[in-house]
Structure 1
Amino acid sequence: MDLGPFDADNSVSCRLSSHIPDVCKTEDCCLGIDEAGRGPVLGPMVYGICFCPVSKKDDLKDLKVADSKTLTETERENLFQKLDEARSYIGWALQILSPNTISTSMLQRSKYNLNALSHDTAIGLVQYALDSGVQLTEVFVDTVGPAEKYEEKLSQLFPGVKVTVRPKADSLFPVVSAASICAKVARDRVVKGWNFAEQLGEVDSDYGSGYPNDPKTKAWLLKYLDPVFGYPQFVRFSWSTAQTLMDSKSVTVHWDDDDEDGEKAAQRQNNRSMLSYFSASSGANDQTPAHQPHRFFTDRRLKSLDAL
């Protein structure tokens, strides 16, 4: 599994895939869908598909794949190796959804919740398999939201394919278990080798499970909260855990809007308007700046302007 394309820019989502076995282009195939990392406040969510000919279901079962959550990291790695060694009849694909993609999607002006993002990602992976020539006749999915509605939605989108959506499908159908293993192995590797674009120096990698209720995760979030610029892109800043910490620990800033009178409203609250951060410093010029700008601005080549 080459994670290079995602490591090169982990601020955006990325699709990775195996070679498509020739037999999957000529025989009826089944496909499983599952995800890893839906709940953590740290790191990406990874959606995975795994597919093989219907005639090879027993062979897949003989590999003793299981729900990835019931396996140790070593067991998952060993099973992924077995799946990779069976590349003559097993294929897989992954969609790595970066923390930045998840948060900006959820906080955009037109609401795009995690369930909708999950559905669209799963649909995109099924379409990828079809576009790659995989002869899909059966799809098995671990449900997101009401199983019946999700099953109906997928059945309408992919007529001619028998769709089965079930809670805990990763423990019921080996092909979903295999997808679960692919997704979890990818997420574990990405989290362990995360490239911090923010140049934080030697970053403490002891961030626990990444789940909001983990004490180690909470301690890490407090340690790496910048009071002005918030969190590195490793953190899903749309999660309530991150938002609560930012609200309580960060510098208070007044955001101008149409319902308030900007700077005056900020002054009444003994606060600073966001616009004040972009205004020219009194007595300063381009040659002798009052202070060095934060790398947030220099990385994006942003400068204060006196006039447009």
Structure 2
Amino acid sequence: MTNLLPSVTLPLTKSYEYYSPVPTIISQNVPDKINEPCVLGVDEAGRGPCLGPMVYAVSYCPLSRHQEFKKLGFMDSKKLTEERRTELSKIILENKDWIGWAVFVISPQDISTSMFKRPVYNLNEMAHDATIKLIRSVLDRNVNLEEIYVDPVGPSQSYKVKLQSHFPGIAITIEPKADSIYPIVSAASICAKVTRDQIVQNWQWTETELDISKEFGSGYPSDPNTVRWMDGNEDNFFGFPTIMRFSWKTISNRMKQTRTIEWSEDEDEEHEPITKKAKQSKQDRLDVLERKRKKALKYNHHLKGLINQQFSLDTCSTL
């Protein structure tokens, strides 16, 4: 696990944030650099996979140096090889005097918990909240943001109105394929993608004495390599380790079909109750068993079937 980004924390058991130091060219109180106007980009990695975290990232720099990212070779991270993405992440680290960045890593456990809540806390809401939290935290570090570029999540116009209500006075652009158009979004894309890849590739099992393959494939349910990993590593009772997003329909439907849990009746129920009170007592016990059967259909062994209703992005720890 050498050469991991400082944004990688293992084992991943809960969501967290990482913020790089504010670049010296922005933070230093020197002539002509006070309140240096800056540009910020937002992008994500891991929205679609059924396993691993979803990572939101921002990158920012002086507005006067925005176009330098193109000269350094930044572009949409999905069009780059893993080796090239790693090289670009090193370039970001080496230029900390003028490039700042941050990530919000949302764990698979918290994704599942949020989507099992009632009402559902869905991926779009998580994405919006993560983006707002990252931008707010950068502003709180006295970075003078004048322009923000974001890849859309949901309808672009309503998302823009939402962001503008939180950050009035900042020019906000929300545009599809922003990571291919705006270099600062490309840099954020690299931070998000490399952070997620390194977390998944170096995943540390929290389950006791678990020793199974980490050949997950891309993590997308349609990926044959991912399907092959699930076929070879699904436990007949517990299902999957906590790297899995149990709230994904692909996973919950699969586990409903593969679970072979049997519930035995209590031995003292062999004789039919006679009195009204005894009949009611038996019915109460049957109701409890029925609730257990229903809960078993969504069995999450890490949480022991219990869904934490208190999770929100605002409660995550900050590094």
Which aligned pairs between 1:1-308 and structure 2 lie closer than 5 A? 1-3=5-7, 6-8=9-11, 10-25=12-27, 26-252=35-261, 261=283, 263-264=285-286
Q: Can you give the 5+ residue segments of structure 2 that lack an aligned partner in the other structure?
A: 28-34, 264-282, 305-319
Distance 1:85 1:145 in 2: 34
- In the superposition, the TM-score normalised over structure 1's length comes to 0.81
2: distance between equivalents of 1:119 and 1:275? 31
Answer with 58-67 or 151-160: which moved more: 58-67
Amino acid at match of 1:18: S
Query: Quick check: 1:253–1:274 contact (8 Å CA) kept in 2?
Result: no
- Look up the equivalent residue of 1:2 and give its one-letter code: P
Matching residue of 1:289: none
* 1:162 partner letter: A
> Helix, strand or coil for the counterpart of 1:241?
helix
Q: Which amino acid aligns with 1:15?
A: E
**Superposition RMSD on alpha carbons, in Å?**
2.6
Q: Is the 8 A contact 1:80 1:181 kept in 2?
A: yes
Offset at 1:161? 0.8
Q: Which amino acid letter does the alignment assign opposite residue 100 of structure 1?
A: Q
User: Residue 238 and residue 253 in structure 1: after superposition, are their counterparts in 2 closer, same or farther (change >3 A)?
Assistant: farther
The Cα shift of 1:57 comes to 1.1
Return the letter of the residue paired with 1:7. Answer: L
Residue 19 (structure 1) shift: 1.3
Q: Is the 8 A contact 1:221 1:242 kept in 2?
A: no
User: Shift of residue 246 of structure 1?
Assistant: 0.7
Q: Deviations over 1:194-236 (max 9, x none)?
A: 0110135332111211100012211222333233333211000
Task: Provide Cα deviations, 1:49-69, integer angstroms capped at 9, x if missing partner.
Answer: 000000111222211200000
SS, match of residue 229 in structure 1: coil
SS state of the match for residue 237, structure 1?
coil
Could you say if the C-alpha distance between residues 178 and 296 of structure 1 is closer, same or farther in structure 2, counting changes exceeding 3 Å? closer
Q: How much has 1:107 moved relative to structure 2?
A: 0.7
Partners in 2 of 1:149 and 1:295 — Cα distance? Answer: 37
CA distance 1:215–1:159, shift in 2 (3 Å): same
Residue 312 (structure 2) aligns with = none
Indicate how the Cα distance of structure 1 residues 160 and 230 shifts in structure 2: closer, same or farther if over 3 A, else same.
same
Q: What are structure 1's unaligned runs of at least 5 residues?
A: 255-260, 277-293, 298-308
Between the aligned partners of 2:230 and 2:13, the Cα distance in structure 1 is 18
Quickly say closer, same or farther: Cα 1:275–1:262, change in 2 above 3 A: farther
Q: Match of 1:238, SS? A: coil
Shift of 1:160: 1.1
Higher mean alpha-carbon deviation, 155-164 vs 216-225, is at: 216-225
How many residues are paired up?
271
TM-score between both structures, scaled by the size of structure 2 = 0.79
Q: Is the 8 A contact 2:51 2:245 kept in 1?
A: yes
Cα deviation, residue 253, structure 1: 6.8
Report the secondary structure of 2:39's partner residue: strand
Deviations 1:144-199 (A, max 9, x none): 01111111110111011111001111011000000000100001100000011013
Name the CA shift for 1:104/1:253 in 2 (closer, same or farther; >3 Å): farther
Counterparts in 2 of 1:114 and 1:274: CA distance versus 1, 3 Å: closer
Residue type of the alignment partner of 1:14: Y
SS at 1:202 equivalent: coil
Equivalent-residue separation in structure 2 for 1:65 and 1:249 (angstroms): 44
> Distance between the aligned counterparts of 1:275 and 1:162, measured in 2?
48
Between the two structures, name the one with larger relative contact order (CA 8 Å, sep ≥ 6): 2
* Other-structure match for 2:273: none
Task: Among all aligned residue pairs of Structure 1 and Structure 2, give the percentage whose two residues are the same amino acid.
Answer: 41
